[in-house]
Amino acid sequence: MPLFDRKDKSRYATFTRRTLVMSGGMTAVLCALGGRLYQLQIKDGDLYRTAAEDNRVNERLVAPPRGRILDRFGVELANNRRNYRLLLVAEQLNGNAAQALDTIARVIALSDQQKKRVLRDLAANKKFVPVLVAENLTWDEFALVNQHLPYLPGLQPDVGETRAYPFGPELSHLLGYVAPVSPDDKKKSDGDDPLLDLPGFRIGKRGIEKQYDDAVRGEAGASRVEVNAYGRVIRELSKDPATPGKDVWLTIDRELQHFVDQRLGGESCALVVMDCQTGDVLALSSTPGFDPNLFNVGITQDVWHTLTTDDHKPLINKCLSGAYPPGSTFKPAVALAAVDAGLDNLTVNCTGSYAMGNYTFHCWKKGGHGHVDLKRGIQASCDVFFYETARRLGIDRIAEGTKRLGLGAATGIEIPGEIGGVIPSSAWKLAKYGVPWQQGETLNTGIGQGYVLVTPIQLCTQVARIASGKAVVPRITRVVGNTAEPRAVADPLPFSDKAFALVREGMNAVANEPGGTAYAWRIAQPGFEMAGKTGTAQVRKISKEEHETGVKKNESLPWKLRDHALFIAFAPVTAPRYAAAIVMEHGAVGAHPHVQMVRDILLFAQQRDVLGLRTAYPVSAASADRQASHA
């Protein structure tokens, strides 16, 4: 009998085919697995190894310390100070977070708004991630918290770094301030700087802080830390320190700036002091100011409301953004153009008024000045003389001459927010209003009224150019990092020596000869004399009836209706070095406090002897009380 019958042979063949199919399938699976293992471990091994490493190791940015801002002698005007702050870790709390915050509030003050923010941040983060509770604590507050730390579970004291302005409001408009990054700031950066995404990171918002923010900001460092699957930091693997921001050295003289701010007091003023020969800005003060530290640590609604509603406008940099009619401080510029146009021998008989058509233009002195030449016109600030001078010159030659002195255009000083002002011309009016220029408007322009608008920095540039005869340009930055800022050599101005001599002689007579409008407030100490030009800018229209019955004294008017008071000056007369310009809003009163301020400041700049101020200029018994009331 055969071992296998035909039926059994068929079954064996079927089993063999199935075995071969299964074996082939298993072989294919094993090949696929092997191929996949080859791809994962050999071909793409480096890629997945890096990905695994990235899951294990996090790289975190380290914020750099911000560069300092210093004056010309190395005094720190903006630096960094310790930031005492408190952090809260949710997983270390004994109770709930709200109770913990209530307990902390018994040690240091925490507002309801702060508590809500902390609770929101705790809910949004993992329990082991520290959340900021408070920052910019005083040392006493920080010490008190550390004293009670055993009874405040979950609270971690921490010491960071933040921006500080040691001199507060004194340099606020010049330095500006730093504040947290806004969504608009991130959009403008186009994601170029990852530092902007760091929580609590601050950037420059105004002034020098904004102008040189990229340089002062520095470059981020990196910390590589090992984390577990939940993101908890296990250890720090390595750290690349951040690159500190560059220091910025200014032309400002902090000691002079301090004296200027003290002298201006609480008045609504703008004052600029410049080196006539180099254009270095030595002091730039807009008062009242504000404390830039408030914008760094967080300004309250009450303080913000006070700043924005103050009629003295403490948030505006009046030196660069305040546009004012120059009044009679415009006359030296007109006089320069007049001499070069051949009007140096012009003589006018001032009777107190000047008729043109059906309109009468008035001189500030009701009875007039009599026969006036160019020197006397500047000395006594005779309006009638400059009405006639302007009529003969014409508006376009006035515009051309005054623009050479830096008026009507931004100076380019390295502080954001500067405006250009207005020097009108016939083409300017036609383009702006679509109507031709009128001759009466030329007369108004000749005395610095009408459409003319200038800034205090432009006025200081004007007087510096008159004093030096060169096209000096104001600058406020000397060095950024280790690189000196380029400075072009000032070219001579296209005015004749005769024109400069006559105008300087007239400005000298303003302060140093009887009959000059600033003679009562001159510097009497030999070798320190100043030359200058007073000015008044009207802020209200004076009616014909008031001209006939007598113009009201500014002292009798409400503050906002008083004229602006202006004064430009340079010193010493024989070898000019310092130029100054002041605009005191609504300050045109009889005692001329603005002239006294500039006089004191120019003497201080020359002498640096505050004790000598009271004996360096004359004080009559009659004016002593008036000066004391405005000092």
Which positions are annotated as active-site residues? 328
Amino acid at 489: V
Quick one: 177 exposed, middle or buried, by C-beta within 10 A (0-12, 13-18, 19+)?
buried
Amino acid at 45: G
The pair of structure tokens assigned to 384 is 């009638």
For the beta carbon of residue 388, count every other beta carbon within 10 angstroms.
23
Identify the CA nearest to 393 among candidates 323, 453, 346, 459: 346
Please tell me the distance from the alpha carbon of residue 314 to that of residue 326, in angstroms, as a whole number.
21
Q: Is 138 left (phi over 0), alpha (psi -120 to 50) or beta?
A: beta
Question: Cβ(250)–Cβ(280) under 8 Å?
Answer: no
Please tell me the distance from the alpha carbon of residue 437 to that of residue 469, in angstroms, as a whole number.
31
- Tell me the three state secondary structure of residue 416: coil
- Tell me the three state secondary structure of residue 552: coil
- Cβ neighbours for 526, distance < 8 A, ≥ 6 positions apart: none
Please tell me the distance from the alpha carbon of residue 478 to that of residue 58, in angstroms, as a whole number.
41
SS (H, E, C) 313-336: CCCCCHHHHCCECCHHHHHHHHHH
Question: Cβ(440)–Cβ(359) under 8 Å?
Answer: yes
Amino acid at 628: A
